[in-house]
Amino acid sequence: MQVIRNIREVQARADAERAAGRRLALVPTMGALHAGHLSLVDAARERADRVWVSIFVNPTQFDDPADLEAYPRTWESDLEACRKAGVDVVFAPLASEMYPEGADTVVEVLELSKPLCGAARPGHFRGVTTIVAKLLLATKPHLAVFGQKDFQQLAVIRRMVRDLNLDVEIVGAPTVREADGLALSSRNLRLDAEARRQALVLSRALDAAEGAVSAGERDGERLLSLVREEIARAPRARIDYAELRDPDTLARAPDRLGAATLLALAVFLDPASPGAPPGGAVRLIDNRVLQPSD
């Protein structure tokens, strides 16, 4: 496995692989790798001859400096995980490489970036699309794999690739969960034991909504009320948003569900002490596409 930090070097490696007729896949990450990331590597391996992983904690997608500072960095264990997973190249540039002095260009998907996490975190998706565009241009993959847990991110990246006519396939891979249902996330490392237990309200709320839909419930507000009631069972959980959206356009779902509908959640898990330092609350997201049968 080769670690590359320079854009020109990784571009040259990509050119050589393409010239040899090999199909390249990229798995973009911010490190702190877990089984969810490795499932993306597996999905990439099924579709390509070479699998590359990028590790870069992108500063432009954090609206809160404390959140950026608190983001876990686990470089040595990340490299070991990549080696064991059979990754061929790790692209790990410095911030100065991706954002040289005087950098003044951004990439933004306007409408899809507005709701959900876009409303709660201004500028977040501008940072995401800018860095993903840069990573795709640097590594020149035939395909890139992203997790469906970040549903809006996946939708925004797909729209960016389509609108800019980028020659890359975007693959969405299923959310990976712990045995108790918690979606895997690098942010889970920041949860204390009690917050980790209470974080299960996200998957329970999704399960409750899915069960209600299966039982015939179609009223959107009643479904959201059910979700809020479930999350309220966790004293340290605060809802950032709980919304029903069209899974393709992210437009608000109609009052009565009649087709596949995205239920998207973002919840803060507060620290045990009210006087904890800034950045103590951990924000988790999860989602489920509800499928009314009639």
CATH number at residue 282: 3.30.1300.10
Same domain, 39 and 165: yes
Q: How far apart are CA 155 and CA 157, in angstroms?
A: 6
Query: Do residues 57 and 73 make contact, with C-beta atoms less than 8 angstroms apart?
Result: yes
Same domain, 52 and 191: no
Distances (CA, A) of 185 to 30, 75, 188, 190, 240: 11, 16, 5, 10, 17
- What local confidence, expressed as pLDDT, does residue 145 receive? 98
Same domain, 25 and 160: yes
Parallel/antiparallel/unpaired status of strands 261-269 and 282-290: antiparallel
Q: How far apart are the first and last CA of the chain?
A: 51
What percent of the chain clears pLDDT 90, i.e. is strictly above it? Answer: 91
Report pLDDT digits (tens) over 126-170: 999 999 999 999 999 999 999 999 999 999 999 999 999 999 999
Same domain, 142 and 7: yes
Query: Do residues 177 and 287 make contact, with C-beta atoms less than 8 angstroms apart?
Result: no
Same domain, 125 and 24: yes
The strand pairing partners of 264, in sequence order, are 243, 287
In the structure, what pLDDT confidence band is assigned to residue 28 with cuts at 50, 70 and 90? very high
Q: How far apart are CA 174 and CA 36, in angstroms?
A: 9
The average confidence (pLDDT) of the chain is 95
In the structure, what pLDDT confidence band is assigned to residue 76 with cuts at 50, 70 and 90? very high
Query: Do residues 117 and 125 make contact, with C-beta atoms less than 8 angstroms apart?
Result: yes
Examine the pLDDT at 41 and tell me if it is beyond 80.
yes
- 280 found inside a domain: yes
Examine the pLDDT at 278 and tell me if it is beyond 50.
no
The strand pairing partners of 145, in sequence order, are 171
Active site residues: 37
- 179 found inside a domain: no
Same domain, 31 and 157: yes
Same domain, 235 and 269: yes
- 84 found inside a domain: yes
In the structure, what pLDDT confidence band is assigned to residue 116 with cuts at 50, 70 and 90? very high
Parallel/antiparallel/unpaired status of strands 50-55 and 89-91: parallel
- 181 found inside a domain: no
What percent of the chain clears pLDDT 70, i.e. is strictly above it? Answer: 97
- 178 found inside a domain: no
Same domain, 209 and 75: no
Which CATH number goes with the domain that contains 115?
3.40.50.620
- 16 found inside a domain: yes
Same domain, 167 and 205: no
Domain end point (choices 123, 142, 173): 173
Same domain, 205 and 274: yes
- 263 found inside a domain: yes
- What local confidence, expressed as pLDDT, does residue 279 receive? 54
Examine the pLDDT at 172 and tell me if it is beyond 50.
yes
Domain end point (choices 173, 208, 242): 173
Report pLDDT digits (tens) over 242-267: 999 999 999 999 999 999 999 999 99
Report pLDDT digits (tens) over 177-228: 999 999 999 999 999 999 999 999 999 999 999 999 999 999 999 999 999 9
Residue 101 CB contacts under 8 Å (≥ 6 apart), including other chains: none
Which amino acid would we find at residue 101?
A: E
Examine the pLDDT at 173 and tell me if it is beyond 70.
yes
For residue 78, what are the domain limits? 2-173
Indicate the number of domains in the chain: 2
In the structure, what pLDDT confidence band is assigned to residue 274 with cuts at 50, 70 and 90? low
User: Mean pLDDT, to the nearest integer, of 24-47?
Assistant: 97
- 94 found inside a domain: yes
- What local confidence, expressed as pLDDT, does residue 66 receive? 87
Same domain, 112 and 217: no
- What local confidence, expressed as pLDDT, does residue 151 receive? 98
Domain end point (choices 173, 196, 227): 173
User: Mean pLDDT, to the nearest integer, of 20-30?
Assistant: 98
- pTM of the entire structure? 0.94
